[in-house]
Each structure stands twice: as structure tokens, then as C-alpha cells.
Amino acid sequence: MVRDKGCGEIKESDIGLNLSLCGWVFRRRDHGGLIFIDLRDRSGIFQVVFSPDVSGNTHKLAHSLRSEYVISVSGEIRKRPAGTENPNIPTGMAEMYVNKLEVMNESSPLPFTIEDAADASEMLRLKHRYLDLRRPEMQKNLIIRHKVTKVIRDYLDEKEFLEIETPMLTKSTPEGARDYLVPSRLNPGHFYALPQSPQLFKQILMISGFEKYFQIVKCFRDEDLRADRQPEFTQVDLEISFADRKDVMENIEGMMKRLFKYVLDVELEMPFGRLSFHESTERFGNDKPDLRFGLELKDMADLSEKGSFKVFLEASRSGGRVKAINGKGLAALSRKEIDLLTEEAVSFGAKGLAWIKVKNGFESPLAKFFPEEILRQMAQRLEAEEGDLMLFVADKEKVVHDVLGRMRLELGRRLNLIKPGYKFVWITDFPLLEWNEEEGRFEAMHHPFTSPLDEDIEKMLKGDINNKELLSALRAKAYDIVLNGYEIGGGSIRIHRRDLQRKMFEVLRISEEEAGVKFGFLLDALEYGAPPHGGIALGLDRLVMIMVGATSIRDVIAFPKTQKAADIMSGSPSTVEAKQLRELYIKINLPEI
Ligand code: ASP
């Protein structure tokens, strides 16, 4: 046996034993006569000591050890002398006195030390990802990721879900993003698309009678990347037959309860809260509210009507909104600091930010436009007390919600209002359709296979496809699951009737022909006894990111891509040989720059 146990597995009961350990030289301290090394492997860190009194040769050889050399050591585990214990590591009560050292491999000088890698530039870390991944923190993240997928698999297996793989070389699916394309050598001029999600295949599996499907699956979307987006990402994808929204939600709630208990030893509050899309945007400005703190948006239209401030009156009269939030304790801000807040609001899309300080009465350039009693009522509605700052935005509804929603988050952070913990909430009753101004047509808010609410189905089937008002009011059997302000998943009950699906395409201005070309196989399958079904997909990367407390999904993915969708370690994407292109009948035709 090369080693007896892991460095992090040494216990009090090992004291007195002769053991062998292997690992990497993490830190090295030369204290005159004695050389101390923190030896690191996946399980943790253990201090080993080289003393000339124990073995002269070994001690001599230890002088040559450098960072990240791979070594094997044997020797006696001893209790550390009083006062030299390290309470910061679980093995800090003991150390090994080495009598045998083998250098298994050397290491070139490092581009950054493993210990300080977190401070190295991300580009450097990604280029040398093999070193970055040696960081205990990264190891912890990937170990937790493993546990998360294991718990999910076990849970779904117990609930009788079947894990079924769907193809990676597929026909493009309509999730709304750009596809990654793969040329087909055997069918020149034809392309596969890498799946944006297994949506159509999982619906087909329901029609085929598998009843409960899941897959932990890579999906691909060729979008411009943001901090929490990757071109390839992992979904926990599932689908259930004979299910309504409650069934899908209960399965996910049970899964999360198990997950947080097993992996983090956290007891989640059950069941999760539910908010309609409408209520969520009204109260928090968006459909992914962080419920760890209050600071809700309040409607001020009726009160602002009772004053003579033009901006407010005009916003209301032109169909817009006047809303406000309470900047708790911010009445002490100077004019300059308020200007900075205003600049921030403008960067979020507002034309301006109106403010009223609750300070020895009311202090504001606006105060003169309102009777004192109305100012008092405003403060009451916002629960603003002496020392608070009321912040108003008046504009089109979307701008008001966007700006105040973002200001709310910003202030929540700045004022330390965000309580630790995990706040899940379901967002339900989304609109079925969304008007695309540019294209002058409706788009599906979730996707075109999402069912309207039961009470809206007949309205839709009978409705005129030009009746914008009727169509805008239709609501979907769609739901998102939100955790601490992040959308971590979404799904819906699907359309399983051919006539309704056909109507949906009509409403979306997708012709029979286009529908046939794009997803004819699903439409065909719907002709042959499709059961009612629905499902959801969770973003695994984001979920794990929140669970480990990371701020970027790149920290929970072993080999992530950069913002330019590149893997700088392996050098992808790259050019390919002319022969490969010839075989695919592809000619590169870059524009002149
Ligand atoms: N396919 C959807 C998505 O990737 C999820 C679902 O509706 O189940 O967002």
C-alpha cells in the first residue's frame, strides 16, 4: 500500500502509530534544525516534520523539497507539543516525524502559489486550471457538486424517475437562444444543433409512456456571456406524466429539502412560498425576488395625484406608474451622496430619482408640491420613520419596476439588510405571451409548448389571433423557482392537445409549414395519445454556486469558459486543418477588417 490514509483523516487515535502519507508540498518552513511541511491531499492538510535526530538522510533530502513536489512520507504520528497545536485545521493536534521520504515527482516553479491563487488574475487561474483546482476551496466546491448530483439522483430514483439520455446531436430546439451548430460530414450542407435543452425529447418520452424522466444534462446556448452564464451548462431536467403544477413543485421541494439537509445540514422551511408573477413584480420590481429582506416597492400614484409635482402627474396620466421605496436610515445622506444615488438610478434606466427625507418633518425639493398631510401618508405607506429617505421613480411601468427593483437590491446590500439563509419562492401565473415590439408579434414567455391556465384554454381556442388585449391577458401554467434572488429553475405544464398546440403556433405567427419543419416530430407524436404532462429544469451550476457561497458559476465548474466562450487552458475554440474543412465542404469566409 502506498499510503495508509488521507492527510486530513488523521485522528487523535493515530497518535503513536507509524503511518505512510502521500501528497503535495503545500507550505514549507525551515526552522534551523527542523523542517516543517504542510502536506496536502484531497482530504486535507497534515504537518510533517523532518528532524536530523530521526533520520539524517531524510532531513537532508527534505532541503530539496519545493512547492507542489509530490512526496510520500512515513513516520511516527506524535501529539504536537503544548502551545504548537493548530486549531484552524482538524488535524492540528498532531504531526508526523518522518523517517522515510520519497520524492514521487518534482514541480516547476509555479505561476502563482496554490495558497494565494484566489488573488491571481482569473485568466492566469484558468490557463493553469490544473493548479487552480488544487486549491482546497475549489476541491470543496467540486466535492459538494458531486454530493448534490448524487443526492438528486438518489432522490429521483426513490421517486421512481428514470434517468434516460437524450441526443447531443439534435435538431435545433426553440428555447430562444442561438444554437451551437455541428456540421454533418455524411450529409454535406446539413447541420446538427447541440441541444439548448432536451425539451422536445422529454415530452416525446412522456408520449412514449415512461411517465417520470430525469437527466442531469449538458445544454448549450450561444449567447453573450454574463457573470452567471456559460455556453455549456448543466440542467437537472425532469418531466412527469399525469401531473399538475402541484406535483412538479412538490417533487422539487422534497428534493431541495433533502439536498440542503444532506449537503449543508440546513433545515429548509416547507412548503416554499408562492407569489404570482404580478405580485412579485409589484412588490419587488421583478420575477426573481430576494426575500431575505423587505424594502418593498409601494404604489404612490393615488397620493401623488393629490400634489402638483408635474413629473408624477404626467407619469400617471400617460399610463405610467409612480412608486417608491424606503431608504432606511438614509436621511443623513448629503446632497452629493443623493446625487450619486440618482446617477445610479439613471444608469439603471430612470430619467431621475425623486427623494424626500423624513427629518424634522419633511425635507425635499418636492415638499412644496404636496400638503404636509399627504407627505405624512406617503411616509406611513412606506413605513418611513424619522431618519429615513423615501425614493421615488415615476415612469413607464417597466422602467419603474426595473429601476426600483435594482435600487432595492443595491440598498439591501449596502444597508446590510440581507439576512443569512436560504429563501425559496415559487413564481407562478406568468403571462403566457409577451409582445415583441420590434417584430410586431407575440412570443411565448416560457416556450411554445407551455399550457395556458385551464380557465384560459377556451378563451384562447375561441379567441381571434389579432385580439392583442385578450392574448396579453392569458396566463400560463408556468412556474419558476427562485432562491435568494436567483432564478434557479423554471418549467411548465405542457400543451398535450394537438388543436391547442396548433392554435399556439398561429398566435405566435409560426406557419404550419415552419412548425412542421422545426418540430414536426413532436406534432406528429401529439396525434397518438399524448398524456397530460409537465416538468421543470433546474440550473445545476447556479444552485451549487449558491450552496457553496461562490459568486461565479465558474467556481463550481471544473473547466469553465471565459466571457469570450474560450477555454484558454486547452485553447478552444481553434482553427482546424484544411482537410477537416474539405471533408465537411466548409469554406471559411471571414469579413475583411
Ligand atoms: N426546457 C425548459 C428550459 O430549459 C425547462 C422546462 O420547461 O422544463 O428552460
Residue 227 has pLDDT above 70, yes or no: no
**Could you read off the pLDDT of 394-436 as tens digits, one per residue?**
999 999 999 999 999 999 999 999 999 999 999 999 999 999 9
**What CA–CA distance (Å, rounded) separates 108 from 397?**
59
Q: Would you state the cell numbers that stand for residue 537, as one nine-digit string?
A: 429544469
- Percent of the chain whose predicted confidence (pLDDT) is above 70: 99
Q: Would you state the cell numbers that stand for residue 72, as one nine-digit string?
A: 510520500
Phi-psi category of 449—alpha, beta or left, where left has phi over 0 and alpha has psi -120 to 50? alpha
Q: Whose CA is nearest to atom 1 of ligand 1?
A: 199
For the ranges 128-132, 148-152, 341-345, the lowest mean pLDDT is seen at 341-345
Q: Which residues, other chains included, contact 463 with Cβ-Cβ below 8 Å and sequence gap of 6+?
A: 470, 471
Residue 341 has pLDDT above 70, yes or no: yes
State whether the beta carbon of 537 lies less than 6 angstroms from ligand 1.
yes
Residue 175 has pLDDT above 60, yes or no: no
Which residues is 327 bridged to in the sheet? 389
Q: Which residues, other chains included, contact 294 with Cβ-Cβ below 8 Å and sequence gap of 6+?
A: 417
Give, for ligand 1, the residue of 213, 240, 447, 487 to mutate: max count of ligand atoms closer than 8 Å to Cβ: 447
User: In a 10 Å sphere around its CB, with 0-12 CB exposed, 13-18 middle and 19+ buried, how is residue 552 labelled?
Assistant: middle
Expressed in angstroms and rounded, the spacing between residue 537 Cα and the centre of ligand 1 is 5
Helical H segments across 386-474, by residue range: 397-414, 454-462, 468-473
Q: Which residues, other chains included, contact 152 with Cβ-Cβ below 8 Å and sequence gap of 6+?
A: 216, 236, 255, 259
Q: Whose CA is nearest to atom 8 of ligand 1?
A: 536
Looking at residues 313-330, what average pLDDT do you find? 94
Q: Which residues, other chains included, contact 101 with Cβ-Cβ below 8 Å and sequence gap of 6+?
A: 50, 58, 61, 62, 71, 72, 73
Is 402 within 8 Å of 348 (Cβ atoms)?
yes
Question: 52 preceded by cis ω (within 30°)?
Answer: no
State whether the beta carbon of 540 lies less than 6 angstroms from ligand 1.
no
In angstroms, how far is CA 301 from the centroid of its own chain? 35
With CA atoms as reference, report the closest residue to 394 among 332, 331, 472, 303: 303
> Cα separations (Å) of 127 from 143, 454, 486, 560, 566?
22, 53, 29, 11, 11
**What CA–CA distance (Å, rounded) separates 317 from 64?**
80
Residue 534 alpha carbon, nearest atom of ligand 1: 8
**Could you read off the pLDDT of 483-503 as tens digits, one per residue?**
999 999 999 999 999 999 999
pLDDT confidence band for 115 (50 / 70 / 90) = confident
Looking at residues 348-371, what average pLDDT do you find? 93
Q: Would you state the cell numbers that stand for residue 428, as one nine-digit string?
A: 407562478
Residue 90 has pLDDT above 70, yes or no: yes
